[in-house]
A and B are shown apart, each in its own frame.
Chain A
Amino acid sequence: MTKPATPPLLVADSIAKSFGPTKALTQASMTVAPGEIVAVMGPSGSGKSTLLHCLAGIIAPDAGMVSYAGQGLAQLSDTRRSALRRTDFGFVFQFGQLVPELTCLENVALPLRLGGGRRRDAEARATEWLARLEVGDIAGKRPGEVSGGQGQRVAVSRALVTSPKAVFADEPTGALDSLAGEHVMRLLTDTARETGAAVVLVTHEPRVAAYADREVVVRDGRTKAVEFA
């Protein structure tokens, strides 16, 4: 494993996680530096999504340690972890993460409003981000009324609207055609680089992983780092 030059933003150290009798992770370790884009690759069922969820503090590992900015996530209360997801993390998943009842604009403004922000301010920022991700014209529509590619760009807008330190993307192009997928990935990585956000990108597509700075492969619950030439 190559150590980044700056102190790592996220560290997973020898984590293990089981779901009943199924061992999802047995010995997984990785680090993510600030602003770094890391692709987590592996075949289906290898444990890559579980690793992402552990890194984001969504689920707690059974063994090992996950830390963010030097602080162990296991030590944080649920409220604190929720606040972290709201302020420091952003999420882009394959589907299901947008609230169907809210308009695209309201969806993007949601993390700001959940943090107690004023509606007007939150929606002004959300409008900026939707425009930046080239979906400003669908602000008033509901997720069910827009295409998959547009929906994912709305999700990216929402992930970045709080200026997070880290964005977790789990198969963000899995439900899109290749053209739309390329578009979303380009916007996600470009914007992340502009804002200095780290991206943990789970994918099984080498074409998507190519947008990352480096790659971590998960196989049978274990990690293996791959350096790009």
Chain B
Amino acid sequence: MRRWAGDLALGLRLAVSGRSSLTRFLLSAVGIAIGVAVLLVGASVGNIAHQHQVRDATTSFAANSDVPVDGVDPLYWSLDPTVFHGDRVERFYVHAAGENAPVPPGLDRVPAPGEQVVSPALADLLSSPEGELLTPRLSAEVIGTLPDSAVPEPGDLITYVGADASFVGSDGAVPTYGFDPTVRDEPLPPEMLVVLTVGVVVLLLPVFIFVSTSARVAGAERDRRLSALRLVGAGARQVRRISAAEAVVSALAGLVLGAGLFLFVRLFAEDIELSGRRVYREDVVPDPVLAVLIVLAVPGLAVATAQFAMRRTIIEPLGVVRYARPVRRRGWWRLALVTAGVAALLYSGSAGRGSDLWIALLVVGTALLLVGVPVLLPWLVERVVRRLSGGPSSWQLAIRRLQLDSGTAARVVGGVAVVLAGAIALQTILMTAETSLGDRGISSGKPSIEVLVSDESLIEPVVEDLSALPSVRGAYAVSDETAFVAGREDRPDLTQTYLSVMDCDAVRALAGATECTDGDVFARAGYEAPPAPGTSLEFRDYVDPVEGADVAVGPVGDEYEVTGTWTVPKARNLPESPNLRVGGTLIVTPGALGGVVLPDVRTMVHVDSGELTGDDVERIRNAVAAHEWRIYTYVLGDVSAGSARQAFTTVSSGLYGGAVFTLLVAGVSLLVLALEHIRERRRPLAVLVASGVPKAVLGRSLLWQVVLPILLGVVVAVVTGVGLAWLVVRSMNVSLAVDWLGVGVLSAGSVLLAVAVSALTLPFLRSATRLTSLRTE
């Protein structure tokens, strides 16, 4: 036991002694620390999500909570969100219909009319200069702040605004008799699952690969050291124990550093926003089981890698014996690994989206493909350099050197390539998801603004409020209505027609008609053909069943009353107008209806504006804010509505940052490797210089030795990254969108890194090749 302890102690001593050992130790520890911090954040995701759900559930109204409960007065509420500078403000209007009405969680009492209780972030916003523009929409007196337990995310903007009794009869007001804090698990959308799954694999895999690679840096020196130990009597097993201890000490230091880094980052958890999401600091707690796994797995991986690196090496007292002649790398198992990954991803397309099998196939396929990069690269580099020859002296020196041993360089480059491949894949997937999901049909610059008016009496005031704004050319009321071919109860879906009722001013301003007279009817170009002139249409008012009432019954059992019939006149054709955002196939001026009573009128006031700049949209929202829950403002193509793009930019920036950082760490590995190479070959290099080889030739030779594997790595990474993205995106049924500029930047960054590493080695090369290097005493 004491021998074991002694061996381990010696391993620890060797790990931190000497310049190169210390460099390797620090390099490994920092790399592992970053990995551990990422792993700990990953292990906290479950808790973050759970706590988010708990807080979300706290503010959720119970299922079936509109069923009256004896002794409980209803709380009427409606969610009437507004958007301010691109951020959504969750505005709940609440009205207690009695003293026994339930109080929303986090509130002491239901706010009275003219009062509101706001989330901390909203309180900060309202008290800031920026918030002044929001005040007209949230003008009620702030009587309290919501506790964290009632706000799902730190930055959430939430308010409970007291509404007066008139709110009870409004369309949106819903009665509730209680709150239910039960957490309901809702599955994530498949697109999000894909990004998350691939993201986790892409971010975590380099961690493991870096841990593995760092264990091999300065390996030759370690082998020599262990050989010296063998000479003075260390047994083969002892040497393995010492080597394991060397690996463990870096891993343990990395664990401690990583935990520190995690705790440091955790301090700023509430300030970090990713994809518009923030988390509470106290929620960033790793799952205990996963944390224990990390603590065990990281040193375990480091030891396993160190031992694996020695599998073809026999440390003998006289030095290091490699098994016979260098073993020619076999490609079949490496290609099989990649093929298996491709097969898993191809098969995932036929597994049910969102199913466990689908996720498992995505994870396995992505992991196999990415692992394939560092696995394939040494084989590929070996195959390529074997075929190379000729060229200038520097090229020849580099090629011959790589032909002798390309494995170490290829392995370190493998670490760079896997980061690159992962970043390209994730970026492409995000870009594709963003292209397919975001900003559908929205043109930037000129948003379409509509105000839904629930009460007909408000149409005029709303139109006046909006028209008074300098940025608004006009505001026009449009009522959308559905009419059915009379007498056809079957297939109402095929026999219904949509009408948009608006006056001639609106037709001219919104639909671009040059001539219009009240009584005109217009057919819209590019839409389905309207019913033929002379067709009799009826307007139906769907009603709640009332005993004894004389109602018609539709094919699906709906009961309705016919409020009036209308014969379709001859319609004039309207030119296609992209700005006309009304639902009707037919544009009908009021005079054309001939006094027919329309049921359940849904009126929108459309805003005709020029290009909106600055806070024009906010001012439009403010202009109608006084009508509170009675109106709802829609802004389509808001100048600040590109939230999907914003999220994409945020994630992309994070990815770039992560990729650049990992590339830099890999660059340091490359540098250490290059320096070790120079030190090892100091005498032969000095001999070359002594025999007249210019130092510039040696410098270029070193450059080729780094650049060649990097170039191959970049090619493999780009092919793997784009290929992986294509395979993953295939299962999302959307077409691939590649950000070639981003791919180019990342690839060029990798090559530049190689050049920078080579440049940094030049001073060392100069000092190593001084002729004094030839002296031994």
Hey, which bits of chain A sit against chain B, CB under 8 A? Answer: 53, 58-59, 78-79, 82-87, 89, 91, 93, 95-102, 106, 110-111, 113-116, 142, 147-149, 158, 175-177, 180
A-contact bits for B311-341, CB 8 A (1 contact / 0 none): 0000011110000000000000000000000
When the two chains form the complex, which single residue of B10, B13, B225, B235 contacts A100, counting CB atoms closer than 8 Å? Answer: B225
Q: What chain B residues lie within 8 Å of A85 (beta carbons)?
A: 231-233, 317
Please tell me if the beta carbons of A97 and B228 are within 8 angstroms of each other in the complex.
Answer: yes
Please tell me if the beta carbons of A58 and B10 are within 8 angstroms of each other in the complex.
Answer: no
Q: How far is the CB of B324 from chain A (nearest CB, A)?
A: 9
Contacts A53-B318, A110-B229, A176-B777: A100 and B234 contacting too (C-beta < 8 A)? Answer: no
Contacts A101-B13, A114-B6: A148 and B777 contacting too (C-beta < 8 A)? Answer: yes
Q: What chain B residues lie within 8 Å of A114 (beta carbons)?
A: 6-7, 10, 229, 232-234, 238
- Rounded to whole angstroms, the CA-CA distance of A78 and B317 in the bound complex is 11
Q: What chain A residues lie within 8 Å of B231 (beta carbons)?
A: 58, 85, 91, 93, 97
Q: How far is the CB of B5 from chain A (nearest CB, A)?
A: 9
Q: What chain B residues lie within 8 Å of A99 (beta carbons)?
A: 14, 225, 228-229
Please tell me if the beta carbons of B6 and A101 are within 8 angstroms of each other in the complex.
Answer: no
Q: What chain A residues lie within 8 Å of B14 (beta carbons)?
A: 99, 101-102
- Rounded to whole angstroms, the CA-CA distance of A199 and B748 in the bound complex is 61
- Rounded to whole angstroms, the CA-CA distance of A82 and B238 in the bound complex is 10
When the two chains form the complex, which single residue of A82, A84, A97 contacts B236, counting CB atoms closer than 8 Å? Answer: A82
When the two chains form the complex, which single residue of A96, A100, A113 contacts B6, counting CB atoms closer than 8 Å? Answer: A113
- Rounded to whole angstroms, the CA-CA distance of A100 and B14 in the bound complex is 9
Within B498-551, which residues are at the interface with A (CB < 8 Å)?
none
Contacts A99-B228, A176-B777: A58 and B233 contacting too (C-beta < 8 A)? Answer: no
Please tell me if the beta carbons of B228 and A58 are within 8 angstroms of each other in the complex.
Answer: no
Please tell me if the beta carbons of A82 and B318 are within 8 angstroms of each other in the complex.
Answer: no
Q: Tell whether B230 is near chain A: CB-to-CB under 8 Å.
A: yes
When the two chains form the complex, which single residue of B3, B18, B233, B318 contacts A111, counting CB atoms closer than 8 Å? Answer: B233
Q: What chain A residues lie within 8 Å of B228 (beta carbons)?
A: 96-99
Q: What chain A residues lie within 8 Å of B233 (beta carbons)?
A: 82-87, 89, 111, 114-115
Q: What chain A residues lie within 8 Å of B224 (beta carbons)?
A: 96
- Rounded to whole angstroms, the CA-CA distance of A201 and B234 in the bound complex is 23
- Rounded to whole angstroms, the CA-CA distance of A110 and B10 in the bound complex is 9
When the two chains form the complex, which single residue of B13, B235, B317, B318 contacts A83, counting CB atoms closer than 8 Å? Answer: B235
A-contact bits for B18-29, CB 8 A (1 contact / 0 none): 100100000000
* Pairs across A and B, CB under 8 Å, 17 listed: A58-B318, A59-B316, A79-B236, A85-B233, A86-B233, A91-B231, A93-B231, A96-B224, A99-B229, A100-B18, A101-B13, A101-B14, A102-B17, A114-B238, A116-B2, A116-B6, A158-B232
Q: Which residue of A lies closest to B5 (CB)?
A: A116
Q: What chain B residues lie within 8 Å of A84 (beta carbons)?
A: 233
Q: Tell whether B440 is near chain A: CB-to-CB under 8 Å.
A: no
Contacts A114-B238, A176-B777: A58 and B316 contacting too (C-beta < 8 A)? Answer: yes
- Rounded to whole angstroms, the CA-CA distance of A83 and B17 in the bound complex is 26
- Say whether chain B's binding surface is mostly helix, strand, loop, or mixed: helix
- Rounded to whole angstroms, the CA-CA distance of A91 and B231 in the bound complex is 7
- Rounded to whole angstroms, the CA-CA distance of A158 and B777 in the bound complex is 21
Q: Tell whether B613 is near chain A: CB-to-CB under 8 Å.
A: no
Q: How far is the CB of B509 from chain A (nearest CB, A)?
A: 83
Q: Tell whether B237 is near chain A: CB-to-CB under 8 Å.
A: yes
Please tell me if the beta carbons of B232 and A111 are within 8 angstroms of each other in the complex.
Answer: yes
Q: How far is the CB of A17 from chain B (nearest CB, A)?
A: 13
Q: Tell whether B776 is near chain A: CB-to-CB under 8 Å.
A: yes
A-contact bits for B228-256, CB 8 A (1 contact / 0 none): 11111111111000000000000000000
- Rounded to whole angstroms, the CA-CA distance of A79 and B17 in the bound complex is 27
- Rounded to whole angstroms, the CA-CA distance of A89 and B231 in the bound complex is 10
Please tell me if the beta carbons of A79 and B21 are within 8 angstroms of each other in the complex.
Answer: no
Q: Which residue of A lies closest to B14 (CB)?
A: A101
Please tell me if the beta carbons of A101 and B17 are within 8 angstroms of each other in the complex.
Answer: yes
Please tell me if the beta carbons of B17 and A110 are within 8 angstroms of each other in the complex.
Answer: no
- Rounded to whole angstroms, the CA-CA distance of A115 and B234 in the bound complex is 8
When the two chains form the complex, which single residue of B2, B18, B230, B319 contacts A82, counting CB atoms closer than 8 Å? Answer: B230
A-contact bits for B209-239, CB 8 A (1 contact / 0 none): 0000000000000001100111111111110
Please tell me if the beta carbons of A79 and B235 are within 8 angstroms of each other in the complex.
Answer: yes
Please tell me if the beta carbons of B777 and A113 are within 8 angstroms of each other in the complex.
Answer: no
- Rounded to whole angstroms, the CA-CA distance of A101 and B225 in the bound complex is 8
- Rounded to whole angstroms, the CA-CA distance of A87 and B235 in the bound complex is 12
- Rounded to whole angstroms, the CA-CA distance of A111 and B225 in the bound complex is 14
Most B CB contacts (10 A, CB to CB) among A82, A116, A158 go to A82
Please tell me if the beta carbons of B316 and A91 are within 8 angstroms of each other in the complex.
Answer: no
Most B CB contacts (10 A, CB to CB) among A113, A114, A142 go to A114
Q: 19 additional contacts, CB 8 Å, given A99-B14, A101-B225, A175-B777?
A: A58-B231, A58-B316, A58-B318, A59-B316, A78-B235, A78-B236, A79-B237, A82-B236, A85-B317, A87-B233, A95-B776, A96-B224, A100-B225, A106-B13, A111-B232, A114-B233, A115-B233, A149-B777, A158-B232
Q: How far is the CB of A28 from chain B (nearest CB, A)?
A: 18
Q: How far is the CB of A152 from chain B (nearest CB, A)?
A: 10
Q: What chain B residues lie within 8 Å of A180 (beta carbons)?
A: 777
Q: What chain A residues lie within 8 Å of B235 (beta carbons)?
A: 78-79, 82-83
When the two chains form the complex, which single residue of B3, B225, B777 contacts A116, counting CB atoms closer than 8 Å? Answer: B3
Q: Which residue of A lies closest to B4 (CB)?
A: A116
Q: Which residue of B lies closest to A93 (CB)?
A: B231
Please tell me if the beta carbons of A101 and B18 are within 8 angstroms of each other in the complex.
Answer: yes
Please tell me if the beta carbons of A58 and B777 are within 8 angstroms of each other in the complex.
Answer: no
- Rounded to whole angstroms, the CA-CA distance of A112 and B14 in the bound complex is 17
Q: What chain A residues lie within 8 Å of B2 (beta carbons)?
A: 116
Q: Which residue of B lies closest to A103 (CB)?
A: B17
Q: What chain A residues lie within 8 Å of B776 (beta carbons)?
A: 95, 148, 175
Q: What chain A residues lie within 8 Å of B230 (beta carbons)?
A: 82
Q: How far is the CB of B26 from chain A (nearest CB, A)?
A: 14
Q: Which residue of B lies closest to A94 (CB)?
A: B776
- Rounded to whole angstroms, the CA-CA distance of A89 and B317 in the bound complex is 13
Most A CB contacts (10 A, CB to CB) among B21, B230, B232, B777 go to B232
Most B CB contacts (10 A, CB to CB) among A86, A99, A115 go to A99
- Rounded to whole angstroms, the CA-CA distance of A53 and B316 in the bound complex is 11
Q: What chain B residues lie within 8 Å of A93 (beta carbons)?
A: 231
Q: How far is the CB of B751 from chain A (nearest CB, A)?
A: 35
Q: How far is the CB of A181 from chain B (nearest CB, A)?
A: 9
Q: Which residue of A lies closest to B10 (CB)?
A: A113
A-contact bits for B691-728, CB 8 A (1 contact / 0 none): 00000000000000000000000000000000000000
Q: What chain A residues lie within 8 Å of B229 (beta carbons)?
A: 99, 110, 114
Q: What chain B residues lie within 8 Å of A102 (beta carbons)?
A: 13-14, 17
Q: What chain B residues lie within 8 Å of A79 (beta carbons)?
A: 235-237
Q: What chain B residues lie within 8 Å of A116 (beta carbons)?
A: 2-3, 6
